[in-house]
Amino acid sequence: MEKSKDNQTKLFQGKQKYFCLNKNAEEVDKLKSKVDLIYIDPPFCTQREFRLHAEGGLGFDDKWKTKEEYLDWLSKIVIKLFSRLKPTGSIYIHNNFESNSFLFTKLPEEIRKNYLTTIYWQRSHPHNNISSNWGNIVDTIIVFGKTKKPFFKVQYSPLDEKYKNNSFNHKDKKGNYALAPITGERSRIGNMFEYNGISPKFGWRKKKEDIEKLDKEGLIHFGKNKPYRKIYLSESNGRPIQNIWYDIFPITRTEKDRRQYPTQKPVKLLKRIILSSCPDKGMVFDPFAGSGSILKAVIEINNEKKKEINCICSDINKKAIELIRTIDGAEFSDEIIWD
């Protein structure tokens, strides 16, 4: 985000639209448009009350008669949300492990068959006061696509020096490179053929014409035991991020993104989800928007990457909507998108 001479934030002026709606998530099927990415951080069925007293009681009650009542409520909402996804869309459901596990079993096969992964986010620092059980410091985010092949862009973390030195320790005229598998495995048999006098026991991971092309480009390392593909340090984007996230820390008292809502999530967490699963000019939707962290994440991405990602924030809590409307850089559209 650039700064002007008077130190004011200069916002990227694209054609993106932002919406802030005081709506009930149970009526999400009234949303007119379909979206690229849905992120939800609903109540977790903790049987607790969440309030920020310093903010005039802003928060919500997370109390239910039974777990079954809660799961019926949440599963119906997820089913309606799934119907609002574009064919290349994804939905990320943020919850604790127990609730997400039970929720999975309540969803119809139409949704379950497009399960993609479960992200495990370390949401707090280790607990030093545990005595009778393991420290519970992880949230889960289950991910479903509208199809098995939704939009997805791999995200990377910077290469640390130890990994860089240990992995990129081979060198040729082009530079340092690491080795990546190019042959099959016992549990994953590849294409069976001989090339350059080599017939891997479990085959090749690519077709013969692709292996020939890689070799012609000098991208195959022929080791003593088997061949590998070369991955050059100069071309590396970093380490691909997997589904265990321990590098995004919880919001603390000293953070510039100060806590304004009891269950507020870090903007960095949401930026990672958006960058991976929403294309430029796409639409992000959060029906349990709370303090509007999802919108803050979209605004930051649009300014940093010069993108035009659109965003719909919705919440049943009027005080939450009032808070979202104060977010810096957000000008909200009056377009009618909810019947």
Angle CA 119–124–127, to nearest 5: 125
Q: What is the pTM of this model?
A: 0.87
Per-residue confidence (pLDDT) for residue 130, from 0 to 100: 84
Series of mean pLDDT values for 10-residue runs along the chain (339 residues): 45 85 97 97 95 72 96 98 98 98 98 98 86 92 97 94 90 96 95 96 97 97 95 92 95 68 93 98 97 97 97 96 94 95
Per-residue confidence (pLDDT) for residue 53, from 0 to 100: 64
In which region does residue 167 sit, left (phi positive, over 0), alpha (psi from -120 to 50) or beta (all else)? alpha
Per-residue confidence (pLDDT) for residue 120, from 0 to 100: 98
Spatial contact of 298 and 283, defined as CB atoms under 8 Å apart? no
Q: What is the DSSP string of 105-128?
A: HHS-HHHHTTEEEEEEEE-SPPPS
Domain boundaries, given as residue ranges, for the chain:
16-155+241-324, 161-235
Per-residue confidence (pLDDT) for residue 255, from 0 to 100: 56
Single-letter amino acid code for the residue at 113: K
Per-residue confidence (pLDDT) for residue 1, from 0 to 100: 45
Per-residue confidence (pLDDT) for residue 46, from 0 to 100: 95
Pairing outcome for strands 115-122 and 48-52: unpaired
Per-residue confidence (pLDDT) for residue 4, from 0 to 100: 42
CATH number for the 16-155+241-324 domain, one of 3.40.50.150, 2.60.40.1510, 3.90.1720.10, 3.60.21.10?
Answer: 3.40.50.150
Per-residue confidence (pLDDT) for residue 11, from 0 to 100: 61
Question: Which residues lie across from 180 on neighbouring strands?
Answer: 229
Give the number of C-alpha atoms closer than 13 A to the C-alpha of residue 321, restricted to the C-beta side: 14
b/e per residue 90-111 (b: at least 16 CB within 10 A)? bbbbbbeeebbebbbebbeeeb
* Strand locations in 204-282 (E): 220-222, 227-232, 239-240, 244-245
Sign of the CA dihedral with 167 first, then 170, 171, and 177 last: negative
Per-residue DSSP letter, 239: E
CA distances from 283 to 13, 135, 250 (A): 17, 37, 26
Single-letter amino acid code for the residue at 297: A
Per-residue confidence (pLDDT) for residue 103, from 0 to 100: 98
Residue 70 has which token pair? 């809660």
